[in-house]
Chain A
Amino acid sequence: MRSHQLVVRAQCTVRLSHRPALHVKCLLSRYPSKRFNSHVAQSNRPPRVAIIGSGPAGFYSAYRLLAKREDMLIDMYEKFPTPFGLSRYGVAPDHPEVKNCEDKFMEVASSLNLNFVGNVDVGNDLPLAALKPHYDAILFAYGATKDKELGIPGENTLDNVHAARAFVGWYNGHPEHRNLDPDLSGETAVIVGQGNVALDVARILLSDVSTLSKTDITEYAIEKLSQSRIKRVHVVGRRGPLQAAFTIKELREMLQLPGVSFDQIPKDVFPPDSVISGLPRAQKRIMQLLGKGSSNDPKTSPKSWSLDFLLAPDSLHGSPEHPDHVSSVKFSCNELDPSDPHSPSSKVIPKTSFDGQRDHVDIPASVFFRSVGYKSLPLPGIEDLGIDFDTQRGILPNDGFGRITSLTNKGKPEDLPDGSLISHLPGLYCAGWVKRGPTGVIASTMTDAFTTADSIVQDLAKNGDSKSLLHSPNQSSGLGWDGVKAEAQRLGLRPTSWEDWLRIDNEEKRLGGLVGKPRVKLDTWDTNIFHEIIGGGIIFH
């Protein structure tokens, strides 16, 4: 029962689905009023969805939505001029295979039904309230924009104390972190936290620069790393080996780094063989690998690293000569709770000496990184949509399927299979790290995004296609970006389109080709191509 326009449109999509579509698409999106005929009867118009964020969560959601509903029209908002979020700015440059997911994202974006709106920071530059009237559903996929702090003395006062997140952003050309300029002239680095980000930081610090220089790592990072004198990295955790968060691939890489030895883990902190043999497969394999360690001889290896367990950071200290620059970290010693020492969820208790005093250890550190997790923040204005951000868990409260729920029962009550009640906020969804917290690999985000997309498609079908989820029947303008654009213009925003990104992408690859790298990221917006695209206006702040 589709309108004539939509049938034609669908045929166009099929015909244009190969790459040439891009050319046509860009013509259309330069004149977006032709993109979609707004005079199509409201009751037959396609559903309009806004996705906030263009990282893996946003793109995998869009992919699934379009696979399930060919008529859906999606506007994807991104605060940076460039797409792909943590795939571009988070994945380590020496893991290019992980970024292959971008090939899929490029395909998804080549669909006429997806409209990329870059360089528009929803919530900060463009109020969420400006979006709401024009959509049937809004999906938040903006990830985790901050990192957790340790809250210890010296963390915010001493020089050369960094968030691992900022360091990762620095070597990846993240616009907010390109000026980090870490001091790597000392010999010892201490990283607090034992997840994959911590191992990424350790690996970049210990890797041979000639290997890294062939990746898309930024030039300034290569320059800095080639002068680095770091030869010892401590990766410190509060709990024991069984509770560490890194995954086995990252650990194996660290243990195979050429010229880098690994300190054997002391027997007293390592679980006994009887425990290891009874572990589930994944944990057992990690423990076996840890027990084996590295084959690199400490005597002949110029660099080394260690996993230091059962140490909680207490305070950071400068030296008498350089009181403002970090030089050592004081840790308080822990021990595993004797009532349950060998499970991934084991807790720790303070370790004390015979006299009842807490044991302490000092580790020298010429540079310090905290890597104890990322954290999502509430987008300004979400309260106007009735959303109460869960500050305790750092997520948008949801039903596990991506439907945002109200903690204060402001929404539509629904029964759960177990008989309890849940309060949904119709038309509001979330996916990725802002939905389930900042853990998991891209594959987990994909599964998670698919789940959310399926919920949206289900809810649309349940609601009857003529009705908007976000509004009472027929109250949404259904215009999407075409309805929002005027307000964005009034606010002086300069959005980038998908075609702009393709130009940037092309230029980055061209520059990379000249120096034997996959791409050279344009990490400042102060380049000709951005001036051309955005017309020299404000771009980034």
Chain B
Amino acid sequence: MVFWKEVGLQLRRVPKSADICLTQSRRHFSSRSWTNTGITAQRNVAPRSPQQWQHNTARRAFSVSAQAAHGHITPPKAGEEINITFIDKDGTKIDFQVAEGDNLLDIAQANDLEMEGACGGSCACSTCHVIVDDPDTFDKMEEPSDDENDMLDLAFGLTETSRLGCQVLMTKELDGMVVRLPTMTRNLQASDFESK
């Protein structure tokens, strides 16, 4: 019985912070805008409306606490907002205004973009792989560390301008940056059926 009492107490404590995180993250990004880049013309991606978005977040019940656990982002001060655009796997463009010092994984998770951080943002996997759209912006960024490059080596769809989201901290110099989430769709290949 003592155990259950403990569990009960612990459980009661969690949602408070979860709620705070959640409302914070919602408040800051009320000015999201949705545009369809049309880059995945074959798939006929329809632009999603904010209403649909709301529906999605409500539907994915258990990922709510994910934001509590990972998406710690700070509200940008007025006049110090940094603009960033994500292009998700469907080719949909989403703009955010964020604060200096937040990393791309936290920003993506706080906004329910489809980006995993399997290792919790500790640079021990490659699931938060992003592709910087503009090579000049990539050159403006700090060089990735050996550890980050080691993980990027295992990333699916690695490019010349690939980074790990958890290792990219937002700075004023990166204002207006566009990053793409790599598509993980694969087509059947003959090698799938071969003996190795």
How many Å from the CB of A24 to the closest CB on chain B? 10
Inter-subunit contact B14/A19 (CB<8 Å): yes
Q: What band does the interface of chain A fall in when counting residues whose beta carbon is under 8 Å from B?
A: 35 or more
Whether A443 and B118, one on each chain, are in contact in the complex, defined by CB atoms closer than 8 angstroms, is: yes
Q: Are A108 and B188 in contact (CB under 8 A)?
A: no
| Stretch of B31-39, B73-81, B100-108, B152-160 contacting A (4+ beta carbons < 8 Å) | B152-160
- Check if A67 sits within 8 Å of B118, measured CB to CB: no
Least CB distance from A497 to B in Å reads: 14
Contact partners of A399 in chain B: CB under 8 A: 188, 192
Whether B65 contacts A17 by the Cβ 8 Å rule is yes
Q: Do residues A23 and B195 form an inter-chain contact, with CB atoms below 8 A?
A: no
Asked if residues B120 and A18 are in contact (CB atoms below 8 Å), the reply is: no
Known: A103-B69, A249-B150, A441-B154. A97 touches B184 (CB 8 A): no
Judge if A95 is at the interface, Cβ distance under 8 Å. yes
* Whole-angstrom CA separation of A23 from B155 in the bound complex: 39
Residues from chain A with a CB closer than 8 A to the CB of B187 are 417
CA of A111 to CA of B184, assembled, Å: 26
- Chain B positions within 8 Å of A410 at CB level: none
Q: How many A-B residue pairs have CB under 8 A?
A: 133
- Which residue in chain B gives the minimum CB-CB distance to A283? B153
If A20-B15, A416-B188, A447-B156 touch, does A67 touch B63 (CB 8 Å cutoff)? yes
In the complex, the answer to whether B195 meets A393 with C-beta atoms within 8 Å is: yes
B149 CB contacts on chain A under 8 angstroms? 285
Docked complex Cα distance between A101 and B158 (Å)? 22
1/0 per residue, CB under 8 A from B, across A120-159: the answer is 0000000000000000000000000000000000000000
Whether B118 and A104, one on each chain, are in contact in the complex, defined by CB atoms closer than 8 angstroms, is yes
Nearest 9 pairs of A and B residues by beta carbon: A100-B120, A400-B192, A282-B153, A97-B122, A17-B61, A18-B15, A97-B124, A111-B62, A19-B14
Contact indicator A23/B61 (Cβ below 8 Å): no
**B interface with A by C-beta (< 8 Å):** 3-4, 6-8, 10-12, 14-15, 18, 58-66, 69, 116, 118-120, 122-127, 146-147, 149-151, 153-156, 158, 184, 186-190, 192-193, 195-196
Neighbour of B60 across the interface among A70, A249, A441, CB < 8 A: A70
Known contacts A104-B66, A417-B188: does B120 contact A22 (CB below 8 Å)?
no
Picked from A18, A249, A285, the residue with its CB within 8 Å of the CB of B18 is A18
Contacts of B119 in A (CB 8 A): 97-98, 100-101
Residues of chain A lying within 8 A (CB to CB) of residue B63 = 67, 107
Docked Cα-Cα span, A437 to B193, in Å, equals 12
Q: What are the residues of chain A within 8 A of B188 when measuring CB–CB? A: 399-401, 416-418
Nearest A residue to B162, CB-CB: A281
Please state if B14 and A98 are interface contacts (CB–CB under 8 Å). no
B60 nearest CB across to chain A (Å): 6
Contact call A282/B58, Cβ cutoff below 8 A: no
A502 at the interface (CB under 8 A from B): yes
Q: How far is the CA of A14 from the CA of B61 in the complex (A)?
A: 5
Docked-complex contact B118 and A446, CB < 8 angstroms:
yes
CA of A98 to CA of B158, assembled, Å:
21
What would be 30 A-B contacts, judged by CB atoms less than 8 Å apart?
Answer: A13-B61, A14-B58, A16-B61, A18-B15, A70-B61, A100-B118, A100-B124, A101-B118, A103-B69, A104-B116, A107-B66, A107-B69, A247-B150, A247-B153, A249-B147, A252-B146, A282-B154, A285-B149, A285-B150, A392-B195, A393-B195, A400-B188, A418-B188, A441-B126, A441-B154, A442-B118, A442-B125, A443-B127, A443-B156, A502-B7
Q: Which residues of A contact B127 (CB under 8 A)?
A: 443, 446
In the complex, the answer to whether A285 meets B153 with C-beta atoms within 8 Å is yes
Specify which chain A residues have a CB less than 8 angstroms from the CB of B126 in the assembled complex.
441, 443
Given contacts A14-B58, A446-B116, contact A441 B195 (CB under 8 A): no
Instruction: State the Cβ distance, A135 to closest chain B Cβ, in Å.
Output: 21
A376 vs B190: C-alpha distance in the bound complex, in angstroms?
A: 22
- Give the shortest distance, in Å, between B152 (CB) and chain A (any CB): 8
